[in-house]
Amino acid sequence: MEKIYIETYGCQMNEYDSEIVKAILGQAEFCFSDSPADADIILLNTCSVRENAVRKVRARIHELRHQRREDPPLIGLLGCMVTSLKEKLLDLPLDLLAGPDSYRLLPMLLQKAHQKRQPLDTLLSRTETYDDIYPVHTHGVNAWIAVMRGCDNFCSFCIVPYARGRERSRPIDSVVQECRRLAEEKFVQITLLGQNVNSYRTNKQNFADLLVAVAQVPGIERIRFTSPHPKDFPEELIRVVAENPRICKHIHLPLQAGDDRILHLMRRTYNQSEYLQLVDKIRKQIPQIVLTTDAIVGFPTETEAEFQQTYRVLQEVEFDSAFIFKYSPRQGTLAAKKYADDVSEQEKTDRIVRLNALQKAVSLRKNQAHIGQIHRVLIEKAGTRKNPRDWQARNDGNKIVVLPPAPLQVGEFIDARILRASAHSLRGELV
């Protein structure tokens, strides 16, 4: 039996896809290795959303070829890079290329790779959801579940619709069945995934209906979802999050930019006022909500005054945390075709430094407000980067809570009193 090693880059959807790949190849009687050193086949599941991820994968391919030059394995590339950068990959020393909708073909593609035929399958599907395949989930407390694939938004900066195809959703029954199996395997938390998860639609049912159905599965104590789009937040969805105790009170609400002109160029379909009205509506109905966001600085033609609008929104909303990125053009997107990348690297760096400094101060202040409170936390793992004897837990709002050495178990819920706070985590004690 050939041994396969899978290395995953990028988002949670890629993590889930690697679990799908393991299930498909496991059924074909392949086995798996935890190390590339003794694997017969190495598969890299790739991301093309950020330029850094692309560079990292290219370097990794050459590194693996060098390390195994005396005993060369088959090396294959999976995922978003394959569909978005196909022509630019043909010069790399690869034996196989398979896009995110081609994973059912992997046993056949691997057979062709052994015949030195360098198989390539990059076709995107309008229907593939892998809803009949139960993934080989990585052991832990949280399991990812892809409830839909692809995206129809076509934001001008984003490669996802070109890399993963058009939007399609799984049947609710399929998702619920997967949740039941996860509960039987003692997973207590699930995270519903989609490129635009709250645009989920099937048989006249929407994302709010899906959340209600999943929340009824015995044994699943916490439900998270990522990433939603501000355009798909009807009153019904906010009410479901507010009223169901199993649905975590954390919403990641990507802003991307605060200026109306830049939002229009990004094709985000909302303006600053509409975004702020949605934030106000969510906070009125869910006072304890933890809001996080994404922001991009240095989008083509962004002026200092327009950047200041983004700065102002982060000041006003006071997100608990934010992922902030410099704009980088992605081949094939509307922005890369239509707009020159005309904001200098120095300006981008200056803006990201200022925005990160603002967010760090806000995050610290928000976290310090929890000092003295008692939080229900879920133990995620033993050991932290600073102390292998500590425990890492997470509260309902998705904030890390570090706990001192104690007789605890991964997957256990406990009450913790918050003693200290940094911008990135909380420190607590057992109650």
User: How far, in Å, CA of 423 to CA of 322, rounded?
Assistant: 11
Give the pLDDT of residue 219.
97
CATH of the domain at 228: 3.80.30.20
Give the pLDDT of residue 331.
86
Looking at the domain assignment, is residue 17 inside a domain? yes
Looking at the domain assignment, is residue 155 inside a domain? no
Same domain, 130 and 117: no
Pairing of strands 374-382, 413-421: antiparallel
CATH of the domain at 395: 2.40.50.140
Average of per-residue pLDDT across 208-230: 97
Same domain, 258 and 349: yes
pLDDT beyond 80 at 30: yes
In the chain, what percentage of residues exceed pLDDT 90? 90
- Identify the band that residue 119 occupies on the pLDDT scale cut at 50, 70 and 90: confident
Looking at the domain assignment, is residue 231 inside a domain? yes
Give the pLDDT of residue 294.
98
Same domain, 218 and 274: no
Looking at the domain assignment, is residue 158 inside a domain? no
- Identify the band that residue 430 occupies on the pLDDT scale cut at 50, 70 and 90: very high
Same domain, 297 and 399: no
Query: What's the structural domain count of the chain?
Result: 4
CATH of the domain at 295: 3.30.750.200
Asked whether 79 and 99 are in contact (CB, 8 A), the reply is yes
User: How far, in Å, CA of 319 to CA of 256, rounded?
Assistant: 13
Same domain, 324 and 400: no
Same domain, 102 and 49: yes
pLDDT digits (tens, 9 = 90+) for 282-335: 999 999 999 999 999 999 999 999 999 999 999 999 999 999 999 999 988 999
| CA 277 vs CA 137, 273, 274, 289, 360: distances in Å | 39, 6, 5, 15, 24
The CA angle 338-344-350, to the nearest 5 degrees, is 130
User: How far, in Å, CA of 220 to CA of 184, rounded?
Assistant: 10
Looking at the domain assignment, is residue 67 inside a domain? yes
Same domain, 306 and 399: no
DSSP 295-353: EEE--TT--HHHHHHHHHHHHHH--SEEEEEE----TTSHHHHHS---S-HHHHHHHHH
pLDDT digits (tens, 9 = 90+) for 72-92: 999 999 999 999 887 778 788
CATH of the domain at 16: 3.40.50.12160
Give the pLDDT of residue 164.
94
Looking at the domain assignment, is residue 157 inside a domain? no
pLDDT beyond 90 at 163: yes
Examine the fold and report which residue of 223, 242, 261 is the final residue of a domain before the chain moves on: 242
Same domain, 196 and 266: no
Judged by DSSP in three states, 182 sits in: helix
Average pLDDT, the chain: 95
pLDDT digits (tens, 9 = 90+) for 396-417: 999 999 999 999 999 999 999 9
Sign of the alpha-carbon torsion through 18, 19, 25, 31: positive
- Domain range for 73 is 3-121
| CA 305 vs CA 259, 296, 324: distances in Å | 9, 15, 18
Looking at the domain assignment, is residue 21 inside a domain? yes
| CA 142 vs CA 153, 208, 227, 381: distances in Å | 28, 21, 16, 11
Give the pLDDT of residue 21.
98
Examine the fold and report which residue of 319, 347, 367 is the final residue of a domain before the chain moves on: 367
In the chain, what percentage of residues exceed pLDDT 70? 100
pLDDT beyond 90 at 220: yes
Same domain, 309 and 282: yes
Tokens of 262: 């830049």
Give the pLDDT of residue 5.
98
pLDDT digits (tens, 9 = 90+) for 132-155: 999 999 878 999 999 999 999 999
Average of per-residue pLDDT across 219-223: 97
pLDDT beyond 90 at 1: no
Looking at the domain assignment, is residue 413 inside a domain? yes
pLDDT beyond 80 at 117: no
Same domain, 115 and 133: no
Residue 396's φ and ψ, nearest 5 degrees, are -60, -35
Same domain, 94 and 27: yes
